[in-house]
Amino acid sequence: MPQDPTATTDVAVIGGGIIGLAIAWRAAQRGLTVCVLERGEQPGTGASRVAAGMLAPVTEADAGELALLELGLRSARAWPAFAHELEQASGADPGLRRSGALVVARDRDEAEALERELGLRIELGLEVQRLLPSAARRLEPALAPTVRLALDVPGDHCADPRAVVHALAQAARRAGVTLRTGATVERVEQDAGRVTGVALAGGDVVRARRVVAAAGAWSGAIAGLPRIPLRPVKGQILRLRDPDHGPGRGLLERIVRFEGGYLVPRGDGRYVLGATMEERGFDTTVSAGGLYELLRDAGELVPGVHELVIEEMSAGLRPATPDNAPLLGPAAELEGLHWATGHHRNGILLAPVSADIVVDGLTGGGEGVGSAFAAARFSGVHA
């Protein structure tokens, strides 16, 4: 809906992916007027459309990223209530499945790596259990007999990102958010060191007291924004379907992760097989080699994958920072600008907690530019 050109909104959000929409919804709930500008013909045309939807702080844990692990655990704990509230507010099911996950090793090297991962997770106090192959196959009979070792991670779950985006757009609209699609932000406008709004391709200007940069991997490329070290990391992914799916258990119940990929069951005969990690700039082509590797590796562990029907092949761009953690909250250089990007591999997991942190900043509370996720940690570092 076009805005009154003379009106000033409290918040203009650049980008209608999962992060921008979650922020818009939460900000409107706190009484702010919000306008989301999304350049696609519908919301969620970026990474959020491609993502598998794992809510997996434990299996994603890395010894060098403790602040990120804590943020992920906090967001994972928030997800059930977030999903429930979202469903109530939107009337749409965001597809949360409390599936748990298995991490499996194919050979001795991978088994040794899993033992090290187990040690790290136990040290960190995370919920995880070592399983012999026989026990893993009792839980997931579709696993190949050649599996060497598995870890059971009962607390890592998943949601359906497309369903989440749909529900968020509904909830945001119902909360009064103006959601403009086909609206490309070309420039963030400012006056005397303070944002005044955003200029769109075609000449429209949306006046705003605060601007949230939530344009995913493209957040660094908008004129008028301070430079941030953000790069796209390409991920290719397959959407598969079991043509014989009926009542009862499907091929897999749990998420199965392995060196280089994962299989995520949606619970209705659909599966997501992902994902490559490639540094190729803003390239979203799908390559035969990328998909071959995913199918080959998954098929070694779950041979039944080869019986599934391919529904979709796609590639998306993860917005990545040098330390893999997001940029959240007010920018030091430009008053009224708030960052909400850099979610890399975990934007679906981190959506609830990111929205809370950014909206706290918008309403004058929160940790400000001193927080562990503030852009200030990269001052002097450029992409």
Contact with ligand FAD (CB under 6 A) among 28, 156, 341, 374: 341
Q: Find how far residue 238's CA is from the centre of its chain.
A: 17
Contact with ligand FAD (CB under 6 A) among 12, 23, 29, 53: 53
CA 66 to each of CA 55, 219, 246, 249, 323: distance values in angstroms, whole numbers, following the listed order = 17, 25, 42, 36, 11
**x-or-dash string of contact with ligand FAD, 106-145, rule CB under 6 A:** ----------------------------------------
User: What is the smallest separation between the CB atom of 70 and ligand FAD, expressed in angstroms?
Assistant: 16
User: What is the smallest separation between the CB atom of 21 and ligand FAD, expressed in angstroms?
Assistant: 7
237 binds ligand FAD (CB under 6 A): yes
Of 38-46, 94-102, 145-153, 171-179, which segment contacts ligand FAD by CB under 6 A? 38-46
Of 42-50, 102-110, 116-124, 171-179, which segment contacts ligand FAD by CB under 6 A? 42-50
Contact with ligand FAD (CB under 6 A) among 197, 261, 265, 274: 274
Contact with ligand FAD (CB under 6 A) among 343, 353, 373, 375: 343
78 binds ligand FAD (CB under 6 A): no
Contact with ligand FAD (CB under 6 A) among 11, 13, 35, 52: 52
Nearest to 183 by CA among 373, 356, 13: 13
14 binds ligand FAD (CB under 6 A): yes
155 binds ligand FAD (CB under 6 A): no
Burial degree of 146 (CB within 10 A; 0-12, 13-18, 19+): exposed
DSSP 6-20: T-EEEEEEE--SHHH
CA 303 to each of CA 225, 271, 306, 375: distance values in angstroms, whole numbers, following the listed order = 48, 14, 6, 44
Please say which residue, 40 or 368, places its beta carbon nearer to ligand FAD: 40
Contact with ligand FAD (CB under 6 A) among 316, 330, 336, 352: 316
**Side chain identity at 42, as an amino acid letter?**
Q
215 binds ligand FAD (CB under 6 A): yes
Please say which residue, 104 or 320, places its beta carbon nearer to ligand FAD: 320
Asked if 186 and 14 touch (Cβ cutoff 8 Å), the reply is no
Contact with ligand FAD (CB under 6 A) among 184, 196, 363, 371: 184
Asked if 205 and 37 touch (Cβ cutoff 8 Å), the reply is no
Asked if 322 and 379 touch (Cβ cutoff 8 Å), the reply is no
SS3 288: helix
Question: In what helix (H) or strand (E) does residue 267 lie, and over which residues does it extend?
Answer: none
DSSP 41-86: SSS--SHHHH---EE-TTTT--TT-HHHHHHHHHHHHHHHHHHHHH
Return d(Cα 142, Cα 157) in angstroms, integer.
Answer: 19
Contact with ligand FAD (CB under 6 A) among 48, 59, 99, 170: 48
User: What is the smallest separation between the CB atom of 62 and ligand FAD, expressed in angstroms?
Assistant: 14
**Footprint of ligand FAD (CB under 6 A):** 14-20, 37-40, 44-48, 50-54, 184-185, 214-218, 222, 235, 237, 274-275, 316, 318-319, 341, 343-349
